[in-house]
A = this chain, B = another copy of it.
Amino acid sequence: MDKQNKKAEWIWYPDDFEFMLANKVMTRRYQREVFIPPYWRLEQPNCNLKFYRDFELTKENVFTVKADGRFNIIINKKGEAGDNFIPVAAKPFAVAKGQWSMCISVYNDTGLPCLFVDSEEVKSGPGFTVSDGNYGQPACGCDGFFDADISPNQYTLPVEEIGYVSKERLSDTKRLYDFGRETFAFLKILGVKNSREITIFYGESRTEALDFENCELFEKVQITPDNAVTGYARGFRFAVIDFGGLLFDDICGLFEFAPIESKAFFQSGDSKLNDIYRTAEYTFLLNSREFYIDGIKRDRWLWSGDATQSYLMSFYTSYDIRIMRRTITALGGKQPVKTFLNGLVDYTLFWILSMWDYYMYTGDSEFVRSKFPLMQAMTEFYKTRINENGLLQGIEKDYTFIDHAVKGSADEISALQILYAKALLVMGDFCELFGIENDYHARSQAVMKKTRALYWDADKGCFYHSRVKGQLDGRITKHANIFAVLYGLVTSAEKEKILRGVLLNDEVEKITSPYIKFYEYAALCETGCHEIVMNEIKAYWGGMLNEGATAFWEEYNPLEKGAEKYAMYGRPYGKSLCHAWGASPLYLIGRYMLGLYPATAGYGSFVLQPALQVLGGTKSRMPTLNGFVELEFKGGVLKVYASKDGGELRLQSGWCANPPAEGRLIDGCCRYEIQAGKRYEFLLRDEL
Cβ of A343 within 8 Å of any chain B Cβ, yes or no, is yes
- Residue of B at shortest CB range from A395? B135
Cross-interface CB contact of A36 among B35, B41, B105, cutoff 8 Å:
B105
Question: What 1/0 flags go to A325-352 for Cβ under 8 Å of B?
Answer: 0000000000110110001000000000
Expressed in whole angstroms, the Cα–Cα distance for A32 and B27 within the complex equals: 40
With A42-B48, A44-B46 as contacts: A71 and B35 at CB distance below 8 Å: yes
Cβ of A677 within 8 Å of any chain B Cβ, yes or no, is no
Cβ of A111 within 8 Å of any chain B Cβ, yes or no, is yes
Question: What 1/0 flags go to A38-52 for Cβ under 8 Å of B?
Answer: 111110111110000
Among A82-90, A251-259, A285-293, A679-687, the one that faces the other chain is A82-90
Expressed in whole angstroms, the Cα–Cα distance for A87 and B44 within the complex equals: 29
Establish whether residues B397 and A135, one from each chain, have CB atoms under 8 Å apart when the complex forms: yes
Cross-interface CB contact of A133 among B33, B42, B87, B135, cutoff 8 Å:
B42
With A27-B70, A107-B27, A134-B338 as contacts: A44 and B47 at CB distance below 8 Å: yes
Cβ of A161 within 8 Å of any chain B Cβ, yes or no, is no
| Distance (whole angstroms) from the CB of A290 to the closest CB of chain B | 15
Expressed in whole angstroms, the Cα–Cα distance for A39 and B133 within the complex equals: 7
| Distance (whole angstroms) from the CB of A262 to the closest CB of chain B | 33
On chain A, which size bracket covers the interface?
35 or more
**Which residues of the other chain, B, contact A339 by a CB distance below 8 angstroms?**
133-135
**Which residues of the other chain, B, contact A46 by a CB distance below 8 angstroms?**
41-42, 44
Cross-interface CB contact of A41 among B48, B335, B397, cutoff 8 Å:
B48
- Residue of B at shortest CB range from A40? B133
With A44-B45, A48-B42, A338-B134 as contacts: A110 and B111 at CB distance below 8 Å: yes
Cβ of A31 within 8 Å of any chain B Cβ, yes or no, is yes
**Which residues of the other chain, B, contact A89 by a CB distance below 8 angstroms?**
34-35
**Which residues of the other chain, B, contact A87 by a CB distance below 8 angstroms?**
32-34
Expressed in whole angstroms, the Cα–Cα distance for A37 and B133 within the complex equals: 11
The 6 closest A-B pairs by CB, nearest first: A41-B133, A44-B44, A110-B110, A42-B48, A134-B338, A37-B107
For the A-B complex with A24-B109, A110-B111 known, give 14 more contacts whose Cβ atoms are closer than 8 Å. Answer: A23-B47, A23-B48, A31-B85, A32-B87, A35-B71, A37-B107, A38-B133, A41-B133, A42-B46, A42-B47, A44-B109, A110-B110, A133-B343, A134-B338
Cross-chain pairs A/B with CB under 8 angstroms, 8 sampled? A32-B87, A34-B72, A35-B107, A40-B48, A40-B133, A44-B44, A133-B343, A135-B338
